[in-house]
Structure 1
Amino acid sequence: MRRACAHDAAVRMAADGDVRTLGAAITVALCGHWDHEPPCPLAPHHTSAERSGDEVTLRVLFAAEPESEADVRSRIETALSRAVFEGPDGVTTRWEFCGAQPSAVRRDELEHAERLMRTA
């Protein structure tokens, strides 16, 4: 049975860098492609990004089987540590990976986490 998990990460990216590419890179790592039919094969997930200058804080909320959780976290960090991604528009976005860590699901995320866990 899937359980809800969260993972926080930080990167530095140029002010004109598209933060959506970070989520796309994570989706490719977890699902094989940024544009796929639901559900996500390994872990239904949602990535949010907040920018402050050149610093971007990412939060990945996901649902995974307990035996897959470490693999999901590793894939997220591997995708971000590559520090480059070519988007569907052919534009290459670069960033500097600053680090990542597991995090607890917050109270305000519980409803979203429940939906992810129910995703078939």
Structure 2
Amino acid sequence: MRQAYAHHATIVPARGADPGAPSVAITGALRDAARPGSPFPHHTATAPDGDRLRLRVLFATEPDRVDEIRARIDAALAAGPWQLTGSGCARLDPDERPHARRLLRAARTAAQDAGQRS
């Protein structure tokens, strides 16, 4: 059964870099991780912090795939035109719980739709 998780990361963007590029990189990494009927719904929030950019990723997956998803997020961020200075597990904040429930609903709906197509 899927659960919702949070991951945080801090990067130092290259001068003139697109601030949306890290979110795009994460989406690409998680799309590649999906298998038919098993998408990885997620949401990435970014917040500037001086010369750094803080990212917070909420995602929904099965407990046995959490480490894989975190590794894919970190690999995507390590490969970009920025410097990854930190990342790791985070707890869901109470104000994130409604969004986490939406991600879980989206995961269930996608899995049901995929089951109907097969």
Counterpart position of 1:5: 5
Q: TM-score, normalised by structure 2?
A: 0.81
TM-score (norm 1): 0.80
Larger Rg computed on CA atoms: 2
Please list, as runs of the form range in 1=range in 2, the aligned pairs for 1:15-54 lying within 5 A after superposition.
15-32=15-32, 41-54=38-51
User: CA separation in 1, counterparts of 2:52 and 2:61?
Assistant: 28
Go from structure 1 to structure 2 and tell me whether the alpha carbon gap of 1:25 and 1:41 turns closer, same or farther (over 3 Å shift): farther
Q: 1:73-112 counterparts in 2 under 5 A?
A: 73-82=70-79, 84=80, 94-112=81-99
Query: Matches of 2:56 and 2:95 in 1, distance apart?
Result: 13
Describe the SS at the equivalent of 1:75.
Answer: helix
Structure 1 stretches of 4+ moved >3 Å? none
What is the one-letter code of the residue matched to 2:65?
A: S
Q: Which has the higher helix share?
A: 2
Identity %: 41
In the TM superposition, residue 21 of structure 1 has moved relative to its aligned partner by: 0.5
1:114 aligns with 2:111: no
Q: Residue 48 of structure 1 aligns to a residue in which SS? A: strand
Report how far residue 15 of structure 1 moved.
4.8
1:68 aligns with 2:65: yes
How many correspondences in the alignment?
Answer: 104
Q: CA RMSD in A?
A: 1.8
Helix, strand or coil at the partner of 2:84: strand
Deviations 1:36-88 (A, max 9, x none): xxxx9442100011112320000000111111111000000011111x2xxxx
SS in 2 for 1:98: strand
